[in-house]
Chains A and B, each alone.
Chain A
Amino acid sequence: MTDTVTPPPLLQMEGIEKSYGGVRALRDGRLIIQQPGTVHGLIGENGSGKSTILGILSGQIRPDGGALLVEGRPVSFSSPVDALRTGIAMVSQETALAPLLSVTENILLGRRLVRGRTGIDWRRSHQRAKLVLDRLGLTYDPRAPIGSLRPDQRQMVEIARALSLDSRVLILDEPTSSLSEDEVASIFQVIRNLSSAGVSTILVTHRLSELFEICDEITVLRDGRTVASGAAASFNPESLVSAMVGDTAAQKRVKRERIAIPAAARDSAPVLTALNVSSEPDLHNVELSLRPGEIVGLAGLVGAGRSDLLEAIFGARPRTGDVLIENVTLAPGRPSAAIRRGIGYVPPDRKTQGVVLGMSVVDNAMMVASSDRFRLRPPGTRRDVQAVSAIGSSISIRTHDLGVAVSTLSGGNQQKVALSKWLIDPPRVLLLDEPTRGVDVAAKAEIHQILVDLADRGVALLVSSSENDELLNICDRIVVMLRGRVVATVARVDADEAKLSRLSGGHLDD
């Protein structure tokens, strides 16, 4: 037997566990990078544990269990600084740069500007930044302010910053989600340059085509477990999607609450029609229509334009193009006008947009219904309180007292309060953005029931969600968006999670 000892893998995570409260985010996370210079793709549905495992790897989250080894040596990070010292750097989804500072200052942010005898030596600092940029094959002026760069260029400056810390493993969390195709190509060129310089990259993306284009290895997470990993060549799009969403039996376990579209919804004229709706630069020429009693889902990746579409219709962001309510045009840019015409909107961030945390349940619930009343009338009259308490008990808002501040309620109950303001006096069209984000399982089911009940009463619902199973659960029809455009519309009977995943990722061939 020869004495060849295979060197330990550059990076090895085994059996990683992490729970939040009672929720297990990770139960068996495994991620192995054998050699320096590898480009490793990480893929999984929302909630599969990607962010958690990367958070653990970059020192932001402490694991409950499992092993993390770098070149065979066990390590444990108690902060991102520890991870950086070991050579692991994370480039986050949202760029965290100071827009008015120069490229140099951002790359060498903090203590690493070169110091001369009279304060900062700017000439040498710029040279040092230039050196880092050169390694990436970038030709930006180190003196330029970050704000003057394109989004992809800013992303590269973030990569440069990570690189200037002598990183050996670079984590890129969806670097391409908001970029155009040319910009994606330039990021990939940088990743290839790094790879040949021996720097490994872990790339998170939802776009299957990107994985096959650039990755050497792929790891698939599902429900907090690593369910597949191996060379990219050993996968194909079908096998990846089925690894992500689980076996075919899993697709059948979706609970179908709505058996059939009500007849009224099939036959009547649309209550809302969007014609050529655009809101540059995020939304382009969207057309869709909603009939009374219909629940339409909006599927797509984060950044695909789902939220922008809802905001544009409701008037919370400027738009061009027409929105018709029963064939009458709706003025753009004014939520109060939209509300008077019978449109409601449940925003994605309940704590800052959905409710006023410091105000009582009654005051929050009455906010919409009373928005048109004479302002010197008294609030919280007996009748209002009765109306709120009727709605509150019908959707089971759990509090002993409707006068308490909403901030004291749990997430699910806060979301029900955000919904309740549209139930006192139901609109004709209700737009919902991530209606069950961050709520517990029981509240989620209750909220779905509320939405189905609303549709049964003839309200048209447009529901945006990043969870495809949620859309399959309650929607009659699902509109898929990609990069600010509608790319497909599928009836629920023809849709399953795999199909939605493929369409969202840009595989439109089927």
Chain B
Amino acid sequence: MTTEHFSQPSIWARTWKGSRPFRPVFVVLVVVFVVLAIAQPVFASAQNLQNLLTSISVLWIVAMGMTLVLITAGADLSVAPIGALAGILLAKLLQAGIPAWLAIIISLVGGAALGGLVNGTLIGRFNVSFFVVTLGTLTAFTGIVNLWSNTESIPVNEPVILNLAVTRFLGLSGPVWIMIIIFVVTLFIQQRTFFGRDVYAVGGSISAARLSGIRVPRTIILVYAFSGLCAAIAGIVAISRIGVASPQVDANLPLQAIAAVLLGGTALSGGTGGVVGTAFGVLFIGVLSNGLSIAGVPSFWQQIVTGVILVVAVLADRIGLRRRTKSTTETSGTQPPESITAPEELAAKTSH
């Protein structure tokens, strides 16, 4: 028997199909971009676009980790204080004379540990609601940040870190390169590893995943550890841009990241979506806020537009989904409440 009667669609066909969730935000992004470029020539200048990318780097990096968390049908509200904690840890280590490379590694491991061992273990191992856990750690970690730093910024003079923001390579700043690297790594995890499949399986159906031998608690712990790692990287990038480890916890950061992920077509219910859509979601938020500020429109408008687009995009997807499921149920007919012995079946039995 031949095994090749299943066709393998071309990579383009697959990419087109896979892009369905983030097509709306992509279209809106392109339209907004073109309109801004025509109305405000400054907007499309190389200089401005470089600034734009640098300005979204923190949100972008956090949103990458957040994407995997949302695919598991969770969310991580504690990313902002984890980033701040990693930054303060880095500043204190540098003050204590630890070499920069070691201090960076320790801070990153610390961020991953806070995400994985605290958030991930409570959610994955003890089945506490992600909302309760990460709201709790958001609050508690914020308290630790303030207590530890005495609510004072700690200056960082380490050239390795400060140069990150100013050095340019191929015209792009260090933070932009970091966000590109994080994007590629996350995309690789998502598409090209079994771990990535586990993430989708856990979000798609936690019991199907468990019954298929997937180690669900471990998957969830690693996903929150990755989110914590991304938050720590974002925290260090933030230091490189302002030169101090700030105890200011941006309470808006997790919500903005979740908004970007949702704009990019990942569903809050888990199991679908991905980082490509998230990238467009973050770009949309960045382009809108940059473009409107160039045009002199108050930044509150950016919030209003982002909010409206977010709800409209999810609503459009929901309506489209309803239409699609309706058409499939209509063709297959309503399922009977019990399994029915059909006449054909009886005939089949008698004929044998």
Q: Write the residues of chain A forming the contact surface with B, with a CB cutoff of 8 angstroms.
A: 20-25, 46-52, 55, 61, 223-224, 253-255, 314, 316, 335-336, 339-340, 345, 347, 352-359, 363, 366-368, 370-379, 385-386, 389-390, 392-394, 399-403, 408, 410, 421, 437-438, 440-441, 444-445, 467, 469
| Contacts known (A372-B213, A379-B192); A47 close to B201, Cβ less than 8 A | no
Q: Are B213 and A20 in contact (CB under 8 A)?
A: no
Instruction: State which of B4, B209, B340, B346 has its C-beta within 8 Å of the C-beta of A25.
Output: B340
| Contacts known (A347-B211, A376-B193); A401 close to B6, Cβ less than 8 A | yes
| Contacts known (A21-B333, A400-B6, A403-B8); A370 close to B339, Cβ less than 8 A | no
Interchain residue pairs A-B with the least CB separation, the first 3: A21-B333, A371-B213, A356-B204
Contacts of B342 in A (CB 8 A): 22-24, 440-441
B198 on interface, CB distance cutoff 8 Å:
yes
Q: Are B339 and A47 in contact (CB under 8 A)?
A: yes
Q: Are A253 and B335 in contact (CB under 8 A)?
A: no
Q: Smallest CB-CB separation from B271: which chain A residue?
A: A358
Q: Are B5 and A370 in contact (CB under 8 A)?
A: no
Q: Are A390 and B3 in contact (CB under 8 A)?
A: yes
Instruction: State which of B1, B193, B195, B338 has its C-beta within 8 Å of the C-beta of A393.
Output: B1
Contacts of A345 in B (CB 8 A): 211
Contacts of A392 in B (CB 8 A): 6
Contacts of B339 in A (CB 8 A): 46-47, 437-438, 467
Of residues 180 through 234 on chain B, the ones whose CB sits less than 8 Å from some CB of chain A are 192-198, 200-201, 204-205, 207-215
Contacts of A335 in B (CB 8 A): 210-211, 213
Q: Are A357 and B3 in contact (CB under 8 A)?
A: no
- Cα distance A217–B346 when bound, in Å? 29
Interface centre among B210, B271, B342 (most CB of A within 10 A): B342
| A interface, over-half SS | loop
Q: Are A376 and B194 in contact (CB under 8 A)?
A: yes
Q: Are A353 and B6 in contact (CB under 8 A)?
A: no
A-B contact pairs, 29 of them (CB 8 A): A21-B332, A22-B342, A23-B340, A46-B339, A47-B341, A51-B337, A52-B336, A52-B338, A223-B341, A223-B346, A253-B346, A347-B207, A347-B211, A352-B205, A353-B208, A355-B205, A356-B201, A356-B204, A356-B208, A356-B271, A367-B212, A368-B213, A376-B193, A379-B193, A385-B8, A402-B8, A403-B8, A438-B335, A441-B345
B41 on interface, CB distance cutoff 8 Å:
no
Q: Are B349 and A254 in contact (CB under 8 A)?
A: yes
Question: B15 to nearest A CB, angstroms?
Answer: 12
Question: A174 to nearest B CB, angstroms?
Answer: 12
B9 on interface, CB distance cutoff 8 Å:
yes
- Cα distance A379–B210 when bound, in Å? 18
- Cα distance A55–B215 when bound, in Å? 42
Instruction: State which of B14, B194, B212, B344 has its C-beta within 8 Å of the C-beta of A379.
Output: B194
B348 on interface, CB distance cutoff 8 Å:
yes
Q: Write the residues of chain B forming the contact surface with A, with a CB cutoff of 8 angstroms.
A: 1-9, 14, 192-198, 200-201, 204-205, 207-215, 271-272, 328, 332-346, 348-350, 352
The tally of CB-CB contacts under 8 A between chains A and B is 171
Q: Are A441 and B348 in contact (CB under 8 A)?
A: yes
Question: B101 to nearest A CB, angstroms?
Answer: 24
- Cα distance A357–B209 when bound, in Å? 11
Contacts of A410 in B (CB 8 A): 332
- Cα distance A379–B200 when bound, in Å? 13
Contacts of B332 in A (CB 8 A): 21, 410
Question: A173 to nearest B CB, angstroms?
Answer: 10
| Contacts known (A46-B338, A253-B349, A254-B349); A377 close to B193, Cβ less than 8 A | yes
Contacts of A366 in B (CB 8 A): 197
Contacts of A55 in B (CB 8 A): 337
Question: A318 to nearest B CB, angstroms?
Answer: 14
Contacts of B9 in A (CB 8 A): 401, 403
- Cα distance A390–B197 when bound, in Å? 21
Contacts of A400 in B (CB 8 A): 6-7
Contacts of A50 in B (CB 8 A): 338
Q: Smallest CB-CB separation from B202: which chain A residue?
A: A356
- Cα distance A266–B274 when bound, in Å? 52
- Given contacts A23-B336, A336-B214, A399-B6, 10 further A-B pairs with CB under 8 A are A51-B337, A55-B337, A335-B210, A345-B211, A347-B211, A356-B201, A367-B208, A372-B213, A379-B197, A402-B6
Contacts of A444 in B (CB 8 A): 345
| Contacts known (A20-B336, A356-B204); A379 close to B196, Cβ less than 8 A | yes
Q: Are A389 and B6 in contact (CB under 8 A)?
A: yes
Instruction: State which of A23, A224, A393 has its C-beta within 8 Å of the C-beta of B6.
Output: A393
Contacts of B212 in A (CB 8 A): 339, 367-368, 371, 421
Contacts of A437 in B (CB 8 A): 339
Q: Smallest CB-CB separation from A224: which chain B residue?
A: B340
Q: Are B350 and A359 in contact (CB under 8 A)?
A: no
- Cα distance A372–B214 when bound, in Å? 8
- Cα distance A133–B352 when bound, in Å? 56
- Cα distance A51–B339 when bound, in Å? 10
Question: A59 to nearest B CB, angstroms?
Answer: 14
Q: Smallest CB-CB separation from A437: which chain B residue?
A: B339
- Cα distance A442–B212 when bound, in Å? 26
Q: Are A376 and B3 in contact (CB under 8 A)?
A: no
| Contacts known (A47-B339, A403-B14); A378 close to B193, Cβ less than 8 A | yes
| Contacts known (A375-B195, A379-B193, A379-B197); A394 close to B1, Cβ less than 8 A | yes
Q: Are B194 and A352 in contact (CB under 8 A)?
A: no
Q: Are A374 and B6 in contact (CB under 8 A)?
A: no
Q: Smallest CB-CB separation from A347: which chain B residue?
A: B211
Instruction: State which of A48, A61, A356 has its C-beta within 8 Å of the C-beta of B209.
Output: A356
Q: Smallest CB-CB separation from B334: which chain A residue?
A: A20
Q: Smallest CB-CB separation from B343: which chain A residue?
A: A24
Contacts of B197 in A (CB 8 A): 359, 363, 366-367, 370, 379
Q: Are A20 and B335 in contact (CB under 8 A)?
A: yes
Contacts of A389 in B (CB 8 A): 3-6
Question: B111 to nearest A CB, angstroms?
Answer: 20
- Cα distance A394–B196 when bound, in Å? 28
Contacts of B200 in A (CB 8 A): 356, 358-359, 363
Q: Smallest CB-CB separation from B267: which chain A residue?
A: A358
Contacts of B205 in A (CB 8 A): 352-353, 355-357
